[in-house]
Amino acid sequence: MDTRTDKYEQVLNHVNTYSQPSQLRITDIRTATIVGAPMRCPMIKIYTNQGLVGYGEVRDGASKTYALALKSRLLGENPCNVDKLFRRIKQFGHHARQGGGVSGIEVALWDLAGKAFGVPVYQMLGGQFRDRIRVYCDTDVRGKPTGTTMGEALKKRMEMGFTFLKMDVGIGQLMGEHGALSAPLGYLEELQQTSRRLSADLPPEEKRYARNRWYDMQNVAHPFTGIHVTEKGLNLLEEYVAGVRSVIGYEVPLATDHFGHIGLQDCIKIAQRLDKFNLAWYEDMIPWQMTDQYVQLANSCQTPICTGEDIYLKENFLPLLASGGVSVIHPDVLSTGGILETKKIGDMAQDYGVAMAIHMAESPIGCMAAVHVAAATENFMVLENHSVDVPWWNEIAVGLPNPIVQNGYIQVPDAPGLGIEALNDEVIQQHLDPADPGLWEPTDSWNDDYCHDRLWS
């Protein structure tokens, strides 16, 4: 005959108790870095004393050390106190990839909080404005495409169900075209040569030199490079976009990116030439910090101006929004400071009549973080996906639909946290970064890293 205790345990076997949220504690943080998904993606696991694991990700192309340096400040803490812990660590983030550690940790904290309380992340942000997320398909073509070949590639995206498209257009199309660009003699040739050396099989010392030289050349802000587009170059760019539109038509939104490191006046010349093609936006034409130049750009053309993927924290979006220099902001959840910060950025942009698209070139972890923000933010427009051509991308995470993007949309999951049940270590193992091949290896050396972090005396 069953005892009362036996019956109680039988009932518990059919009840999802999740955890005891008030007693949840962080016990470990580990990483694994994959390449080709589509970028270099350091993924994060935060472990707890109750067996729950939270998943996060450092921004594409960034270093896992940005996250691991925060470990000693989080061990023993309750991950459900997301805002408290974010305020503790946010001083260690910065713009672009340097915000990736703080942002990735914040994402993993939200995943844990959702799992602890048994609700999806979007519900903790205030609920849904939409239950499926429109995705735009960023499309690359190998080599130097013509307008026709790029148009045909985009047409295939439309046949897959995508209702919003993006492509690159800029001085990359003009490299090697005699008379299309002017620059200090030898500069463009060295830029191309250094780029080729980065992808070559070089000894470590030469590789480091090539990387540092590439950094020196690419770290020159747009107005200071001395690169200009000639009339021939402008004609070629106009012909290129005309060729794309002749294939895909004018009904589908087509955003544009990667114009190159050129100054404001050249950006205005290109913008005015391409206005006629009804483009969705011009993205990152100049560095986001140059607010006054964004105002001049916006006032000089009729196409929406977009930027934001490299901006850390909501207060740094405010000058652009208040100035009227942008019509669309484009934050990346893994740069801004994370999920809640991106939600706040979207809400602030709405106050200025600005739409929010979301940049995302990451694994399904970063993708689902963006999905929950998009579901919970009213002025959201469209989410980037740069992994359509990566066949194993959908296999990284367990518990999501396969494929994750279906007919140009991602269904918002109802499962707790981000909606990811587990990560597929077999797939991850096959795509580990050769320069960082560890798979969730111990990180005890970071446990007691200490610094006097207080920002005042």
End-to-end CA, the chain: 68
Share of the chain above pLDDT 90, in %: 81
Q: What is the mean pLDDT of residues 11-26?
A: 72
Q: Is the pLDDT of residue 13 over 80?
A: no
Contact 297, 232 (CB under 8 A): no
C-alpha span between 94 and 100 (Å, rounded): 8
C-alpha span between 342 and 311 (Å, rounded): 10
Q: Is the pLDDT of residue 286 over 70?
A: yes
Contact 333, 365 (CB under 8 A): no
Residue 310 has a pLDDT of 97
DSSP readout, 147-167? Answer: HHHHHHHHHHHHHTT---EEE
CB 2: neighbour CB atoms within 10 A?
9
Residue 18 has a pLDDT of 58
C-alpha span between 420 and 266 (Å, rounded): 45
Residue 12 has a pLDDT of 44
Residue 6 has a pLDDT of 58
What is the pairing mode between strands 397-398 and 422-423?
Answer: antiparallel
pLDDT tens digits for 227-247?
Answer: 999 999 999 999 999 999 999
Q: Tokens at residue 457, please?
A: 């005396």
Q: What is the mean pLDDT of residues 305-320?
A: 98
Residue 4 has a pLDDT of 60
C-alpha span between 302 and 75 (Å, rounded): 51
C-alpha span between 36 and 29 (Å, rounded): 23
C-alpha span between 378 and 355 (Å, rounded): 9
Q: Is the pLDDT of residue 39 over 80?
A: yes
Share of the chain above pLDDT 70, in %: 96
pLDDT confidence tier of residue 8, bands split at 50, 70 and 90 = very low
Q: Is the pLDDT of residue 306 over 50?
A: yes
Residue 187 has a pLDDT of 87
Q: Is 71 helix (H, G, I), strand (E, B) or coil?
A: helix
Where is average pLDDT lowest: 179-183, 413-417, 447-451?
447-451
Q: Is 271 helix (H, G, I), strand (E, B) or coil?
A: helix
For residue 403, say if its preceding peptide bond is cis, omega within 30 degrees of 0.
Answer: yes
C-alpha span between 138 and 332 (Å, rounded): 15
Q: What is the mean pLDDT of residues 90-103?
A: 92
C-alpha span between 212 and 216 (Å, rounded): 6
Q: Which residue has the higher pLDDT, 194 or 158?
A: 158
Residues β-bridged to residue 328: 306, 355
Alpha carbons within 13 angstroms on the beta-carbon side of residue 171 total 23
Q: What is the mean pLDDT of residues 109-122?
A: 98
Q: Is the pLDDT of residue 73 over 80?
A: yes
pLDDT tens digits for 394-436?
Answer: 999 999 999 999 999 999 999 999 999 999 999 999 999 998 9
pLDDT tens digits for 182-237?
Answer: 999 998 888 888 888 877 888 888 888 888 887 788 788 999 999 999 999 999 99
For residue 434, say if its preceding peptide bond is cis, omega within 30 degrees of 0.
Answer: no
pLDDT tens digits for 342-370?
Answer: 999 999 999 999 999 999 999 999 999 99
C-alpha span between 137 and 414 (Å, rounded): 24
C-alpha span between 335 and 361 (Å, rounded): 12
Q: Which residues, in sequence order, are CB contacts of 271 under 8 Å at separation 6+? A: 282, 285, 297, 300, 301, 303
Amino acid at 110: W
Residue 38 has a pLDDT of 87
C-alpha span between 240 and 235 (Å, rounded): 9
Q: Tell me, what DSSP letter sits at residue 73?
A: G
Residue 321 has a pLDDT of 98
